[in-house]
Structure 1
Amino acid sequence: MTNAALLNVEGIRKSFRKPDGGELLVLDGIDLTLREGEIVGLLGRSGSGKSTLLRLIAGLSKPAAGRIRYLGQDVTAPPPGIAMVFQSFALFPWLTVLENVQLGLEALGLPAEEIRRRSLDAIDLIGLDGFESAYPRELSGGMRQRVGFARALVVHPNILLMDEPFSALDVLTAETLRTDFLDLWAEGQLPIKGVILVTHNIEEAVLMCDRILVFGSNPGRVLKEIKVDLAHPRARLDPDFRDLVERIYVEMTARVAAEHPSRRVERFPGAGIGSILPHVSSNLLAGLLEEVAGPPYDGEADLPVIAASLHMEIDDLFPVAETLQMLRFAEVAGGDIRLTAEGKEFAIEDTDQRKRLFARHLLTYVALAAHIRRVLDERPSHRAPWSRFADELEDHMSPDAAEQTLRAVIDLGRYGEVFAYDDRAHVFSLDNP
């Protein structure tokens, strides 16, 4: 690997205008350097601004502050030499594989003979030789994503931006495509000099990347840069690989302290009225409690181990674990999840006892749930409209976050039979269905 810098991102800040005229800050103080021969991973949960940063680098959006330089030139529009692979395939269904791949070259105005030659070479490189005349509807998800790779590679970019390119695929297909990509990269067959990969899969980041930038949320910022000093090909069961995965889990579960260094971090973070709640199924909450309570964990488990056994990524596992912590059924720290006495009690009780215990914890530790119940208790009709609480939440968060938080507390309230909600009338009540 050389020391030549392909890309420099300096002090990037990005915000969006809210309907009320306020500002929603999504990225703050982002610094990043991509050097020739590197794969750099942007690892974090959904909503941490990773994909927004890719769009800024691609010149599809402009930052509110800071600068992005590609080969020493400021990026103010989509620059030649940077291509992107998307999560959703983004193919034109009425075009064949060959026609989809040719699109980028046609936009460059190249001669027809060169367009065809380079397109066929890219299709062959990515393993789709023989499927040139097929339409996207005839292809599996993995094949469609290969077309996306071929379309990006055919323009011979210096930098390839990959926005969760494997997340929409099944486990086996994703693993095959990752392996093929890494083999081509290691053999120097890809016409690219550097890669930026957005992912929320910790093992994927360790498997593919030379450096990993761990992102925090609200707003998105880099919490930690981790260098991956593991030789390729990397083995998931290698002790050094597992140690690095564990280290990243520790970093990500400790992110509250890193994001708010001036705040005293409580053993059990509170959920005040202004807290954005993750929308988590009560079935997942109960399921994780039962899994950790039983053998071989007996109440305490490594998050990487439990994630692997349940086939859960951080966007699936972390919200469940953090909700259990919010409810005081578990403690999440140091990359581990440990059940409290109440969490262990929940796991062994019958349904009615679970609901009573859950309701007590919900009203004690989640301020919004207690607030809704108090309002309903005080009103003669024991009813209140959605807007009564949505308006309050929007003083603290965006409308989308307010809706997510209300939806989350509705599910928790229904499970604990603390209150009811009629989605057709948009009304909370104490009615017992």
Structure 2
Amino acid sequence: MSTAIVTVDRVTKTFTNPSGEQLPVLSEVCLELREGEIVALLGKSGSGKSTLLRIIAGLVQPSAGSARLRTSEITEPNPSTAMVFQTFALLPWLTVRQNVELGLRARGVAVWEREERVTDAIDMIGLDGFENAYPKELSGGMRQRVGFARALVVQPEVLLMDEPFSALDVLTAENLRGELMRLWDETAFPTKTMLMVTHNIDEAVQLADRILVLDNNPGRIKGEIRVGLDHPRDPRGAGFQALVDQAYRMLTDVGFDGGRSAFTPTPTTRPLPDAGVDGLGGMLDLVAAGGGRADLPELAGGLRFEVDDLMPLVDAATMLGLATTVDGDIELTVDGSMFTEADIDSAKAIFARLARAKAPLVGAIDHALSTAPGERLRDGFFLDLLRRGFTEDGARQQLRIAIDWGRYAELYEYDAAERLLTRHTVDA
């Protein structure tokens, strides 16, 4: 087995919410990055992928556990690690050359060496002729090339990438992925291991030697997939597609819950997926049109969705009991079939029954309103409770989703001006 360059040992990370309570983001995460391998972190939104990446980069400190670079604990950014960001993070008033040399300047590298290394990095990443251009003159792909050059110029042992291709169009992203693999295969390439956060399953299978799948709320390693395919990889090949299916199965495996199934779900232990009723209904209609069962990779590919786009809809459908996931497929339940076939009033009645019983926050709001004086409560009451388990933005997002679901189900109404929730009343 090759040498472990980075070791993450039982890392837990919590953040403090406005009420002073601890919000868990990562729980007991263990992993190794070994010499000569590319590892992809794959998971839904909220699984702590980017937080874990920043802990390894030394930008965030764990609440418990440790991250080590070889034998040294990582407590701050170090010269052996560089990072490529999703949003390019270029300084607009600096030229390409000046942006690339920022890290070398910060490390006090001599001018003559700095100029030589910057020239080599610009040449290596295909930026020749753009040295004196400013970011606003560059396409998205060229700007991300600057981001890669800035990371590689410091000759890092460890290259960390936070969704580096997600802001690019399909063809540009594919080109840059190919360029990265070409560099990786060169013996002069200084980087010994790479860790990439992505929500694109095909990208993970295309690039990585190992794929680590994270569960969420809080983030924990759910499983590992060893790719075992030679480069270049054919996305149309049977082996490639089998790995994509395996990743989907792991992401949608409702059997894994970290032991939480023994507890009664609450609005904080089982948050609402960020899925609107229209999007959920549209996805279920597509599944119904395919005979009541659909292959998730094919469904996502046909819609040109990524995991972060599709999975909240899948999670909402399974939470409500409208669908189940089996071997990477989504299949309508009896309630799901009835929902897709029903007229609008009947569909609302089905949704109301399931949301009240299976969506903890919707059920909690419905119950609270049924016992409140005048069957009305201000939204601040629910926000205060939600802040105990979510950040401020997270609490507001949860309430927004619950209002959307409850309105559709005609369980309750919401007056945004008065910030008031009231039980739904039927006009006489």
Q: Which residue of 1 aligns with 2:27?
A: 28
CA contact (8 A) 2:266 2:361 kept: yes
1:53-202 aligned within 5 A? 53-188=52-187, 190-202=189-201
- Between the aligned partners of 1:373 and 1:262, the Cα distance in structure 2 is 24
Is 2:336 the counterpart of 1:337? no
| CA deviation profile, 1:39-85 (whole Å, cap 9, x unmatched) | 11111112222211221211222223323222322222221111000
- Between the aligned partners of 2:174 and 2:322, the Cα distance in structure 1 is 35
CA contact (8 A) 1:96 1:133 kept: yes
- Between the aligned partners of 2:363 and 2:337, the Cα distance in structure 1 is 24
Is 2:317 the counterpart of 1:320? no
- Between the aligned partners of 2:350 and 2:38, the Cα distance in structure 1 is 48
Is 2:359 the counterpart of 1:366? yes
1:339 is displaced (CA, Å) by 0.7
Q: Which residue of 2 aligns with 1:291?
A: 286
Is 2:276 the counterpart of 1:278? no
Q: CA 1:183 to 1:103, structure 2 compared with 1: closer, same or farther past 3 Å?
A: same
Q: Secondary structure at the match of 2:355?
A: helix
1:371-390 aligned within 5 A? 371-379=364-372, 381-390=374-383
1:271 is displaced (CA, Å) by 5.9
- Between the aligned partners of 2:38 and 2:91, the Cα distance in structure 1 is 28
Q: Secondary structure at the match of 2:255?
A: helix
Q: Secondary structure at the match of 2:224?
A: strand
- Between the aligned partners of 1:38 and 1:10, the Cα distance in structure 2 is 19
Structure number with greater CO (CA < 8 Å, separation at least 6) is 2
Q: Secondary structure at the match of 1:161?
A: strand
1:146 is displaced (CA, Å) by 0.9
Q: Secondary structure at the match of 1:258?
A: coil
TM-score (structure 2 length as normaliser): 0.92
| CA deviation profile, 1:360-414 (whole Å, cap 9, x unmatched) | 3323433432342344445564431002222333455554443222111111122
- Between the aligned partners of 1:243 and 1:332, the Cα distance in structure 2 is 17
Q: Which residue of 2 aligns with 1:207?
A: 206
CA contact (8 A) 1:158 1:194 kept: yes
- Between the aligned partners of 1:119 and 1:395, the Cα distance in structure 2 is 48
1:170 is displaced (CA, Å) by 2.1
- Between the aligned partners of 1:183 and 1:166, the Cα distance in structure 2 is 16
CA contact (8 A) 1:136 1:144 kept: yes
The counterpart of 1:347, out of the listed 340, 350, 355, is 340
Q: Which residue of 2 aligns with 1:422?
A: 415
Residue type matched to 2:285 in 1?
E
Residue type matched to 1:292 in 2?
V
1:320 is displaced (CA, Å) by 0.4
1:134 is displaced (CA, Å) by 1.5
- Between the aligned partners of 1:124 and 1:346, the Cα distance in structure 2 is 58
Residue type matched to 2:318 in 1?
Q
- Between the aligned partners of 1:259 and 1:418, the Cα distance in structure 2 is 29
Q: CA 1:273 to 1:119, structure 2 compared with 1: closer, same or farther past 3 Å?
A: closer
CA contact (8 A) 2:56 2:74 kept: yes
- Between the aligned partners of 2:174 and 2:9, the Cα distance in structure 1 is 33
CA contact (8 A) 1:257 1:263 kept: no
CA contact (8 A) 2:272 2:359 kept: no
Q: CA 1:382 to 1:63, structure 2 compared with 1: closer, same or farther past 3 Å?
A: closer
Q: How many residues align?
A: 425
Q: CA 1:357 to 1:262, structure 2 compared with 1: closer, same or farther past 3 Å?
A: closer
CA contact (8 A) 1:271 1:326 kept: no
1:262 is displaced (CA, Å) by 7.2
Q: Secondary structure at the match of 1:215?
A: strand
CA contact (8 A) 2:17 2:388 kept: no
- Between the aligned partners of 2:402 and 2:234, the Cα distance in structure 1 is 41
Bigger mean CA offset, 323-332 vs 357-366? 357-366
Residue type matched to 2:178 in 1?
T
| CA deviation profile, 1:143-171 (whole Å, cap 9, x unmatched) | 11111001001111111111111112222
CA contact (8 A) 1:272 1:368 kept: yes
Q: Which residue of 2 aligns with 1:246?
A: 245
Q: Which residue of 2 aligns with 1:3?
A: 2
Residue type matched to 1:201 in 2?
N
1:210 is displaced (CA, Å) by 0.7
Q: Secondary structure at the match of 1:257?
A: coil
CA contact (8 A) 2:44 2:307 kept: yes
- Between the aligned partners of 1:30 and 1:375, the Cα distance in structure 2 is 37
- Between the aligned partners of 2:424 and 2:251, the Cα distance in structure 1 is 41
The counterpart of 2:255, out of the listed 257, 266, 269, is 257
Residue type matched to 1:193 in 2?
K
Q: Which residue of 2 aligns with 1:309?
A: 302
- Between the aligned partners of 1:207 and 1:119, the Cα distance in structure 2 is 29
Bigger mean CA offset, 94-103 vs 379-388? 379-388
